[in-house]
């Protein structure tokens, strides 16, 4: 195989014992006659949804300017280096989330649909935006979609009265009656991305025997690299190092759990003790999944509604949910805002990572589109109007940043879902209660 004259297939996999390694986009995967300078995004059709629970202090969220992000708000301060990569949308609402509950906030975020009020298994919602995307752009990848969370569902605690726990536990629904469970165990996610054959237990046993999943594919990688140019060899080396580092951190978390004589009932074995370490590990797994084109659609729940997590990283030692019912107490609001700022900073760190991964004529962030936000506005009154919403990335799809898009009256979040689907090539006439597109986002490019 002469790479300079014949393109390597984008669907090239390296297989080992119990492992299948997908490759990132290489120069060698482009047609020989296509100059790299003309490649603006391959593949650009990726979309991710990141859910922040329990709304925020909107006064510390909303940028001062009505048109740009030249002066970021306190909660968004970590986005300073990404101003040109993001847009903030103000006064979007989820009308179908009322009468106003935590369950409906979570359920409506991606469906914009009204959850059937029931505590039994006759629940009913709607197909979520991510699954509409998965059916259109996810069929050529190993995983049509990837559903992730930070909470282990066995330990999620209470649910809203009158609503089945399924509404709070699941962001993604492939049909109105089919919720898709999310995974919070880094090891299980890692195995889904790179493992092959046998049960989960069998694959884990094989990995323990050889110390690393990568060990079984290194001979094949070495043979492939001999046929690649220096640039592609460097890309593969960086990609393998990223996988090795993620695997090392997973193994460290498992070792720490094994060595801890006191079991932690809220943190099952293999999950890092620190929320920050856990979240960054889950974000890194998402970066690898997009980089290797294992999936093109991801949802990630930073915490479920009514979460009583404490975030010592913020200097706040109060649980999140009680703080969200602040009763307009300035001290409680300030503490809640610190948690909001912390969650946004994790997303900003993720964007940093994506921008450092080159792809085509840009980077992984350019070729991916993200919606970050909450299904609740003011959590003190369970309001679903004036939601905190960020749109990020997507430069290869014509997205422009440094914009604050404001509406004079509440506007359906479904409009944004319809628009983002269109941006990744999924063209539908309407979504839930949509009334049209977000014109400021759709006009630069519609393909």
E-strand ranges in 94-188 read 146-149, 172-175, 178-180
Question: What are the boundaries of each domain within the chain?
Answer: 1-39+204-270, 45-184+275-283+297-442
3-state secondary structure 165-196: CHHHHCCEEEECCEEECCECCHHHHHHHHHEC
**What does the pLDDT average to over 183-210?**
73
pTM exceeding 0.75: yes
Beta partners for residue 175, in sequence order:
178
Phi, psi of 290 (to 5 degrees): -75, -45
CATH code: domain 45-184+275-283+297-442 is 3.40.720
What average pLDDT does the segment 219-234 reach? Answer: 85
Tokens 């629970």 correspond to 53
DSSP state of 74: S
Higher-pLDDT residue of 136 and 221 is: 136
* Listed residue (151, 110, 144, 107) closest to 129, CA to CA: 110
Task: State CA 230 to chain mean position distance.
Answer: 32
- DSSP line for 359-396: ETTEETTTT-EEEEE-S-S-GGGT--SS--EEEEE-GG
Separation between Cα atoms, residue 280 and residue 350, nearest integer Å: 8
- What pLDDT digit, counting tens, does each position of 54-96 carry? 999 999 999 999 999 999 999 999 999 999 999 999 999 999 9
pLDDT greater than 70 at residue 147? yes
For strand 369-373 and strand 47-51, is the pairing parallel, antiparallel, or unpaired?
Answer: parallel
Could you report the per-residue pLDDT of 277-307, keeping only the tens digit for each?
999 999 999 999 999 999 999 999 999 999 9
Q: Three-state DSSP class for 314?
A: helix
Q: Check: CB of residue 342 under 8 Å from CB of residue 323.
A: no
Contact 271, 152 (CB under 8 A): yes
What are 240-287's pLDDT values in tens digits?
888 889 988 888 887 776 555 444 434 455 789 899 999 999 999 999
pLDDT band for position 387 (cuts 50, 70, 90)? very high
Burial grade of 365 (CB within 10 A; 0-12, 13-18, 19 or more): buried
Q: What is the pLDDT of residue 265?
A: 39
Residue 352 makes CB contacts below 8 A (sequence gap 6+) with 81
Specify the 3-state DSSP secondary structure of 354.
helix
Task: Give pLDDT tens digits for 302-346.
Answer: 999 999 999 999 999 999 999 999 999 999 999 999 999 999 999
Whether 203 contacts 195, CB under 8 Å:
yes
Q: Beta strands of 235-293 (E only): which ranges?
A: none
Q: Is 445 helix (H, G, I), strand (E, B) or coil?
A: coil
Residue 18 pLDDT more than 70? no
């Amino acid at each position: 195989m002469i790479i300079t004259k014949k393109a390597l297939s984008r669907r090239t996999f390296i297989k080992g014992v119990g492992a299948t390694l997908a490759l990132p986009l290489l120069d060698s995967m482009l047609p020989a006659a296509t100059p790299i300078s003309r490649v603006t995004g391959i593949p650009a059709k990726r979309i991710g949804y990141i859910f922040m629970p329990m709304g925020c202090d909107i006064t510390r969220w909303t940028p001062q300017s009505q048109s740009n992000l030249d002066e970021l708000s306190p909660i968004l301060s970590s986005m300073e280096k990404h101003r040109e990569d993001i847009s903030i949308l103000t006064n979007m609402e989820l009308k179908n989330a009322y009468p106003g509950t935590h369950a409906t906030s979570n359920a409506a975020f991606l469906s914009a649909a009204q959850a059937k009020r029931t505590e039994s298994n006759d629940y009913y919602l709607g197909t979520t935006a991510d699954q509409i995307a998965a059916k259109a752009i996810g069929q050529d990848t190993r995983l049509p979609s990837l559903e992730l969370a930070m909470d282990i569902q066995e330990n999620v605690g209470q649910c809203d009265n009158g609503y089945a726990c399924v509404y709070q536990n699941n962001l993604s629904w492939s049909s109105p009656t089919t919720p898709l469970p999310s995974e919070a165990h880094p090891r299980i996610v890692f195995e889904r991305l790179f493992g092959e054959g046998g049960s989960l237990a069998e694959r884990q046993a094989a990995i323990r025997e050889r110390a690393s999943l990568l060990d079984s594919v290194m001979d094949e990688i070495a043979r492939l690299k001999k046929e690649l140019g220096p640039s592609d060899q460097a890309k593969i080396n960086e990609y393998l190092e990223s996988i090795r580092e993620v695997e090392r951190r997973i193994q460290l978390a498992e070792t720490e759990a094994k060595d801890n004589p006191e079991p932690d009932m809220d943190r099952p074995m293999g999950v890092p003790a620190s929320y920050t370490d856990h979240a960054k590990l889950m974000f890194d797994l998402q970066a690898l999944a997009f980089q290797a084109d294992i999936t093109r659609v991801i949802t990630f729940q930073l915490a479920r509604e009514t979460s009583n997590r404490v975030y010592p990283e913020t200097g706040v030692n109060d649980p999140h949910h009680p703080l969200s019912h602040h009763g307009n107490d300035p001290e409680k609001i300030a503490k809640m805002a610190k948690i909001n700022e912390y969650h946004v900073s994790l997303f900003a760190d993720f964007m940093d990572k994506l921008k450092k991964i080159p792809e085509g004529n840009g980077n992984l962030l350019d070729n991916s589109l993200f919606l970050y936000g909450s299904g609740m506005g003011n959590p003190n009154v369970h309001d679903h109007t004036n939601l905190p919403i960020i749109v990020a990335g997507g430069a290869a799809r014509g997205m422009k940043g440094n914009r604050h898009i404001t509406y004079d009256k509440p506007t359906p979040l479904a409009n944004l879902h319809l628009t983002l689907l269109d941006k990744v090539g999924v063209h539908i006439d309407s979504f839930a209660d949509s009334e049209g597109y977000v014109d400021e986002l759709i006009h630069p490019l519609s393909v």
